[in-house]
Structure 1
Amino acid sequence: MMKTLEGIRVLDVSIAMSGPFAAQKLADLGADVIKVEPVTGEWQRHVSAGGARGQEVNASFLSLNRNKRSLAVDLKTEAGRALVQKLAAESDVFLQNYRTGVAERLGVDYATLNALKPDLVYVSMSGYGSTGPYATKPGQDVILQAMSGALRSAGAAGEAPRPAPYFLVDAFAAYSAFEGALAALLHRFRTGEGQLVEVNMLDAIIAAQMQEISVHSVGGIPQTTAEEIHAHTYIRAPYGVFPTADGHIALSFAESAMLAEVFDDERFLAFDMERDGFSHKDEISRLVQEGLAKGTTEHWLSTLAAAGAWVGPVYGYDELVTDPQVVHNGSFVEYEHPTEGTVRTPGFNFRLSGSVQEVTRPAPVTGQHSTEILAELGLSGDDIDALVKSGVVGQHPRFAPTAV
């Protein structure tokens, strides 16, 4: 069975999370993604989230770079720039998330590569946009979460705003770049024209709040933080994660009559949830907390579910990976890595009935594929050896060609 993007070549010169994640999604659909990185390795190889460093490749890098090949090359040298420009002229997509001005300095900006390959899809990712007052500012996830307005839509009054405990903005930017690359490729297939695709983290996180911001800007409803537990200012009570006698549960959209029966508390009947769930959210949340404090998590999960409530457990990662639905879905993938052994990471966020998605390449070690990629460009063995010896190209010793 064919892979969706089979025959498409992508040059990924991005670093950190958003760019590599977007390129990995193209790789998972079958594109030949060449990760162009410094001879010392991409930044993410050396800075690991959570300190999970591994033998040679840390967990952060493994999670963002499967199904790619690695070409280690020094773009600060004229010879290195020439190699990447030659590769770009034979590629379909180029993806970078350099700070403003860096791509031009390295000779891999849109104008330069478009002149070499007019039908190239060039994806440029940034924190705030390529122009404007913040164009030169570095984009960082929690900073953009805070700027986006989202942190004022949850939590209790008087508490400090609490960011999401994962790289939310990076992920939305990655999905935006992935979507933009696919749209531009479709345009190219129809017209033969390449184009520049610009993605910035600020616009990505704003667009992700399409409904919430529109409620404010169109509906004129202000953001108001509740006094009691409430997870979303624009959703009626009860809504959030509530404590039980021995843990926590997540509860949303329960009706008055149901809560009155389950908790044996007629005070709930005073509220019409569609009308009062907004204006009396604190009172409703207090009553829910009173009721839940009288029983265990297991009791309330089963009792509320049996009553038809939308209720669920609050997991850590240990519980997540063993959940029966997660296991049934095959939400995680496993593969063997040459230096890290068995690797288990989140898999694919969608399924395709007519094409294949699989892990065919583990995340590469630095320069693992330098020799084969340059050979595909037509360079001789002697030329490649000279580039390696000069330091322009990096080649991992474990994967260096064996002399015959």
Structure 2
Amino acid sequence: MGVLDGYRVIDLSIAMAGPLAAMRLGDLGADVVKVEPVTGEWQRHAPAGGATGNRVNASFLSLNRNKRSLAVNLKSDEGRDIVHKLAASADVFLQNYRPGVAERLGMDYDTISALSPRIVYVSMSGYGESGPYMSRPGQDLLLQAMSGAMLSTGRDGDPPAPAGTYAIDAITAYSAFEGALAALLHRERTGEGQRVSVNMLDAAIAVQMQELSIFTVGGVPQRRGREPHGHTYIRAPYGVFATKDGHIALGMPRLDALAVAFDLPELAGMDGDADGHTRRDEITAIVARRLPERTTAEWLEICARHDLWAGPVYGYADLVADPQVRHNGSFVTYDHRSEGTVTTPGFPYGLSAAPPAVRMGAPLVGEHTRELLEELGYPAERTAELVAEGVLACED
């Protein structure tokens, strides 16, 4: 039994941020009903990296486990009525429609909260639900660019550097997940439901609490130097360096210890906190010249012996084979109805009393439509009529 067993979540979201937030609630035991068009959610038809799968692509699999699929046409009166009936008994309602769409479909906060005053209504947007940018597309790369984070890495004169993950989508998802849990706790104490508003821009700003405070409080601007550097506000050496046979990551090791370990006497007299910033390019260049003399494994052993922060640079094949990753159980493997044996990233937290679990894989389009309509009291004959009319879609 999960910690959210007995709670119902209505998930009307698409793409990554909303579905990931809803999946995390499902991982904790909530009954998540994924409401999608009769043709299936957009993410089903846009496979990241071209990983199409048999009937469910890899990106959809990764974001929609522990959900039941209701495939319904929300532009029809009866389709809206079905979702309203589900919402009336739900605990969380989550959507990330473009501005105005929820209102047109009758899925806005005023409508849903009138059906269930205790409901936690999570509304997700790109830039906020009002203001000059409310209609801009809320896409991960665009928010990375606007957030300022792209200029916190790299070398002066290099192009701005995007992250290698959908970082803003993930941060926004966890903000929505956190907000939903906080609102549920508030409801348990007061009986009162509420609206939770989350936007990608604020999430991107909040996650840079250190960097932006250095700028707003300390008045220190972002300064990219001549040498490649991992972060403008962290002292050298910090970043990825070439070795004899690959690369190694160095995380601001102490300069006095580094001088001994790497036989770099020119670093011995430097002050890490002062010179590490003001002489960043010089320090980076000194270290970069030394590292190609040995292999990554040799340098890692030296760093471990001298208690210096260093680590290997992995590709995905290295990551999934790593002994610590295997020990942690960082990935979960289960059997899927159409995709066979599936391995995907697991859970980012553990709970000793009620741990998260995979109860079901990502659903096929409308896989649970009949089941959900039966729970609402619809006769099988009426469900079949609605399928024939295009109001619903069923897997079978």
Fold agreement, TM-score > 0.5: yes
CA contact (8 A) 1:127 1:140 kept: yes
* Superposed displacement of residue 392, structure 1: 0.3
CA distance in 2, matches of 1:150, 1:265: 32
**What percentage of aligned pairs have identical amino acids?**
60
CA distance in 2, matches of 1:255, 1:99: 49
Match of 2:124?
A: 125
Match of 1:248?
A: 247
* Superposed displacement of residue 270, structure 1: 3.1
CA distance in 2, matches of 1:257, 1:23: 48
CA contact (8 A) 2:169 2:200 kept: yes
Matches within 5 A, 1:21-100: 21-100=20-99
Match of 1:402?
A: none
CA distance in 1, matches of 2:262, 2:10: 58
Match of 1:259?
A: 258
CA distance in 2, matches of 1:132, 1:257: 51
Match of 1:150?
A: 149
CA distance in 2, matches of 1:86, 1:388: 18
AA aligned to 1:217 is T
Instruction: Say which SS state the counterpart of residue 358 (structure 2) adopts.
Output: coil
CA contact (8 A) 2:71 2:366 kept: yes
Match of 2:7?
A: 8
Instruction: Say which SS state the counterpart of residue 268 (structure 2) adopts.
Output: helix
* Superposed displacement of residue 265, structure 1: 2.2
Aligned residues: 396
TM-score calculated relative to the size of structure 1: 0.97
Moved over 3 A (4+): none
Instruction: Say which SS state the counterpart of residue 311 (structure 2) adopts.
Output: strand
* Superposed displacement of residue 165, structure 1: 1.1
* Superposed displacement of residue 303, structure 1: 1.2
Matches within 5 A, 1:5-404: 5-397=4-396
CA distance in 2, matches of 1:265, 1:91: 64
CA distance in 1, matches of 2:363, 2:283: 53
C-alpha RMSD of matched pairs (Å): 0.8
AA aligned to 2:340 is G
CA contact (8 A) 1:23 1:178 kept: yes
Q: Any stretches of 5+ residues in structure 1 without a counterpart?
A: 398-404
AA aligned to 1:124 is S
Q: Any stretches of 5+ residues in structure 2 without a counterpart?
A: none
TM-score calculated relative to the size of structure 2: 0.99
* Superposed displacement of residue 79, structure 1: 1.0
AA aligned to 1:146 is A
CA contact (8 A) 1:229 1:242 kept: no
CA distance in 2, matches of 1:21, 1:265: 47
* Superposed displacement of residue 257, structure 1: 2.3
CA distance in 1, matches of 2:267, 2:134: 52
CA distance in 1, matches of 2:31, 2:198: 22
CA contact (8 A) 2:256 2:269 kept: no
Per-residue CA deviation, residues 20-69 of structure 1 (Å, 9 max, x unaligned), is: 00000000000000000001000000001100000100000000000000
AA aligned to 2:131 is G
Match of 1:401?
A: none
* Superposed displacement of residue 6, structure 1: 0.5
AA aligned to 2:264 is D
CA contact (8 A) 1:18 1:174 kept: yes
Q: Does 255-264 or 181-190 show the bigger shift? A: 255-264
